[in-house]
């Protein structure tokens, strides 16, 4: 990729105009791999948008590159308009223009890159779970940007965007809203006595102001109308125009929304994905302002300044609701559950229980935090050396697994297949074999690889070959990372790494064999034996101990990132061992206090909503997942059960509703044959609800969770002694 000086260019003589960089077409070609279709991140009326990397003064920048399509209805006028417009505009909620190329009839615009793409994509294509709070913040950010356009350039005039829609609202790495695409924008009247610009109609069907359409009179209120459509999109999750409906009132979001408001059916307007999470006061306030934006009388529509203020009131109402004692953010859990919290006192704290006292309580009692000896100095090498390690060749593995017989499969996951294997010395182990096209690497391969069989271009074939090499290297790197991470772990409640094979395209991890299947299988009753309450409590403590070790006592802090009931294995004595570290993250000691910015990994139903929203990973993400597992342990249900009614599909929400209504006894797993102490059960449930607080600051750390579980265990044993 060539290095550019990024020549600065001013599009106007005005001193207020910001310089942007003029690039050569060769630089644009280099930045986009000659406009490789696999780098396309969007397409609109102007043309395709590519993700690229470009150099400005020897510094590389990831950018979005929009190239005018020769067949587009837009052309030089829109191209120049956007350069002129964006060179004048600088605001935190407007996409910045970095530069352009006007070379040999090629017209290209270069913008800052927005990692999360368009709002339209997340609402209508990706089916991303966006919380109501985040939707409100996106609306407020976009409203701020539009308010600046209308009023922020000077006292004499403003800019009318003319094409406000969800696909022109981009989201940055922090999910902040950015208004984009100024090709149709118009500078407003400089004379304040004139409120409109006479112009031909431009815009997008479904967002188009009817008054502008009929009169050709363009005003700032034309943008206000379009933004009202976006507000109802955010609330309902519906398209501005949905041609799946034959009825015009259903097909048009505007008509449908106005009818719902008229009939006072506000609850029917809420996206099913966030239904039940919006406070009634917030909903009324939000719908009131959104509906005013669609008013047929232009003068009665509010200004964007007023819209910003009204949306901020909506956010305050929602946050007040979420922070009340009777709500736990968007899932409506209480922040405080004083009746069911177990304070760590001198009597029941971890440090205060003497060995004599522990032995006198029960022969099962062990140190509640199994702190390991001094951190292991073991490091990976071609020959793995640690206690109990095994060294195998591929032929020995084939023999031990009966040539990877399907009859010996223990399970399958994203990494590959796990086989039970018996070695020549009689030792039974589990062998995890990576897929030849590992799913996690396959995604990148699908995005990048060019099928050389479909092209005669030697350059493309060479690039395809290089991509396959990169794909293989990425898979091997992921494999080595997991092996090295497992080698740093030494804890009673975590599966042990015994060896590995890294040869050719074979990647195998050899771990200890845990004979009793997964926790999920036992909760489902697959093995024919059911876990009693005491066993479930012990398993909960085992898991808490293992996560405490990973977060606090391992050689380097480790975040598991995929704590699920299917990743908890049980020994023949029904003790838990945490497995599957394919998604785990090793935290650098320098940054152990800071969240890690990373793409979201995990299992649906267990993923921390704050991690999902912010891409910031912390140990509290594991705490959230543990809370979901704890609810599974108590209720027996899976995290998500699609076969159930809408109200019961998400076990977490269902459990809290029952808990809040005082129906704790109805949450007890029907497979528990014994009489369960409701007070002990409720305390464990209360702890689970603390763990699943949607914001990490409100969750306890795993050490505190382990201590509370230990205190609950001591109380449970005392109750048992009294019963005897």
Active site residues: 562
Q: What are phi and psi of 521, to 5 degrees?
A: -65, -40
Three-class HEC string of 230-252:
HHHHHHHCCCCECCCCCCHHHHE
CB 621 within 8 A of CB 696: yes
Map residue 336 onto helix, strand or coil: coil
Rg over CA atoms, the chain: 30
Map residue 15 onto helix, strand or coil: coil
Is residue 66 annotated as involved in ligand binding?
yes
What DSSP string describes 176-208? -EEE---TT-EE--SSTT---EE----S-TTT-
Map residue 651 onto helix, strand or coil: helix
Cα distance between residue 203 and residue 184, in whole Å: 8
Q: Which long-range contacts (CB under 8 A, 24 or more apart) does 260-269 make?
A: 261/287, 261/291, 269/232, 269/235, 269/236
Q: Of 101, 113, 108, which is closest to residue 23 (Cα–Cα)? A: 101
Copy the structure tokens of residue 357.
Answer: 């006292």
Is residue 436 annotated as involved in ligand binding?
yes
DSSP 8-class letter at 425: T
Neighbouring residues of 307: CB distance < 8 A, sequence distance ≥ 6: 143, 147, 224, 227, 289, 293
Cα distance between residue 491 and residue 378, in whole Å: 14
Copy the structure tokens of residue 227.
Answer: 């933004």
Cα–Cα distance list, 132 to 270, 331, 377, 603 (Å): 10, 11, 47, 22
Neighbouring residues of 7: CB distance < 8 A, sequence distance ≥ 6: 21, 22
Task: For residue 423, count other CB atoms closer than 10 A to its CB.
Answer: 16
Residue with tokens 């967002």: 207
Cα distance between residue 115 and residue 132, in whole Å: 21
506: left (phi over 0), alpha (psi -120 to 50) or beta: beta
Length of the chain: 724
What is the H or E stretch that residue 534 is in? helix 533-548
Annotated binding site: 66, 436
Annotated binding site for ATP: 66, 436
């Amino acid at each position: 990729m060539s290095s550019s000086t990024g020549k600065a260019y001013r599009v106007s003589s005005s001193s207020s105009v910001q310089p942007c960089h003029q690039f050569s077409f060769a630089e644009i070609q280099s930045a986009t791999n000659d406009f490789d279709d696999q780098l396309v991140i969007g397409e609109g009326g102007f043309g395709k948008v590519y993700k690229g990397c470009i150099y400005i003064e020897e510094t590389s920048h990831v950018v979005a590159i929009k190239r005018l399509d020769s067949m587009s209805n837009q052309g030089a006028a829109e191209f120049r308009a956007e350069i002129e417009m964006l060179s004048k505009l600088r605001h935190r909620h407007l996409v910045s223009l970095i530069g352009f190329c006007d070379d040999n009839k090629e017209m290209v615009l270069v913008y800052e890159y927005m990692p999360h793409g368009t709002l339209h994509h997340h609402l209508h294509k990706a089916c991303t779970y966006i919380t109501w709070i985040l939707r409100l913040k996106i609306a407020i950010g976009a409203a701020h940007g539009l308010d600046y356009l209308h009023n922020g350039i000077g006292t004499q005039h403003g800019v009318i965007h003319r094409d406000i829609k969800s696909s022109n609202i981009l989201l940055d790495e922090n999910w902040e809203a950015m208004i984009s695409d100024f090709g149709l924008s118009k500078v407003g009247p400089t004379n304040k006595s004139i409120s409109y610009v006479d112009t031909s109609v431009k815009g997008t069907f479904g967002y188009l102001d009817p008054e502008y359409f009929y009169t050709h009179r363009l005003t700032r209120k034309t943008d206000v109308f379009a933004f009202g459509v976006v507000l109802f999109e955010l609330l309902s999750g519906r398209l501005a125009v949905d041609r799946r409906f034959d009825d015009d009132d259903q097909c048009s979001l505007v008509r449908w929304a106005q009818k719902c408001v008229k009939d006072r059916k506000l609850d029917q307007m809420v996206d099913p994905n966030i239904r039940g999470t919006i406070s009634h006061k917030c909903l009324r306030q939000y719908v009131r302002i959104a509906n005013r934006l669609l008013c047929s009388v232009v003068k009665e529509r509010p200004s964007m300044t007023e819209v910003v203020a009204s949306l901020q009131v909506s956010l305050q109402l929602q946050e007040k609701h979420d922070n009340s004692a009777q709500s736990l953010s968007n899932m409506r859990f209480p922040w405080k559950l004083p009746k069911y919290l177990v304070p760590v006192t001198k009597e029941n704290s971890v440090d205060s229980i003497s060995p004599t006292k522990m032995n006198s309580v029960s022969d099962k009692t062990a140190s509640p935090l199994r702190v390991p000896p001094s951190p292991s100095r073991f490091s990976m090498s071609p020959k793995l050396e640690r206690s109990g390690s095994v060294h195998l060749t591929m032929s020995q593995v084939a023999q031990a697994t009966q040539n990877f017989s399907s009859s010996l499969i223990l399970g399958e996951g994203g990494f590959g297949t796990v086989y039970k294997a018996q070695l020549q010395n009689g030792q039974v182990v589990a062998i995890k074999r990576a897929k030849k096209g590992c799913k996690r690497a396959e995604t990148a391969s699908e995005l990048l690889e060019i099928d050389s069989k479909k092209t005669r271009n030697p350059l493309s074939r060479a690039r395809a070959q290089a991509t396959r090499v990169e794909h293989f290297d990425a898979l091997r790197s992921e494999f080595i990372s997991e092996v090295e991470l497992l080698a740093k772990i030494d804890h009673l409640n975590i599966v042990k790494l015994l060896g590995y094979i890294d040869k050719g395209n074979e990647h195998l991890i050899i771990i200890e064999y845990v004979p009793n299947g997964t926790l999920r299988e036992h909760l489902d009753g697959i093995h024919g034996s059911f876990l009693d309450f005491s066993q479930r409590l012990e398993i909960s403590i085992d898991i808490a101990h293992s996560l405490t070790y990973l977060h606090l006592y391992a050689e380097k802090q480790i975040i598991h990132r995929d704590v699920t009931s299917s990743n908890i294995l049980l020994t023949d004595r029904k003790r838990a061992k945490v497995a599957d570290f394919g998604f785990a993250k090793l935290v650098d000691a320098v940054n152990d206090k800071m969240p890690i910015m990373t793409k979201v990994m995990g299992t649906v139903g267990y993923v921390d909503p704050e991690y999902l929203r912010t891409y910031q990973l912390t140990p509290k993400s594991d705490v959230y997942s543990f809370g979901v597992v704890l609810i599974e342990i108590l209720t027996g249900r899976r995290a998500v059960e699609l076969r159930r009614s809408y109200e019961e599909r998400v076990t977490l929400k269902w459990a809290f509703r029952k808990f809040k209504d005082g129906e704790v006894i109805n949450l007890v797993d029907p497979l528990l044959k014994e009489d369960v102490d409701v007070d002990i059960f409720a305390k464990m449930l209360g702890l689970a609800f603390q763990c699943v607080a949607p914001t990490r600051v409100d969750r306890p750390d795993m050490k505190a969770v382990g201590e509370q579980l230990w205190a609950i265990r001591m109380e449970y044993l005392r109750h048992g002694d009294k019963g005897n």
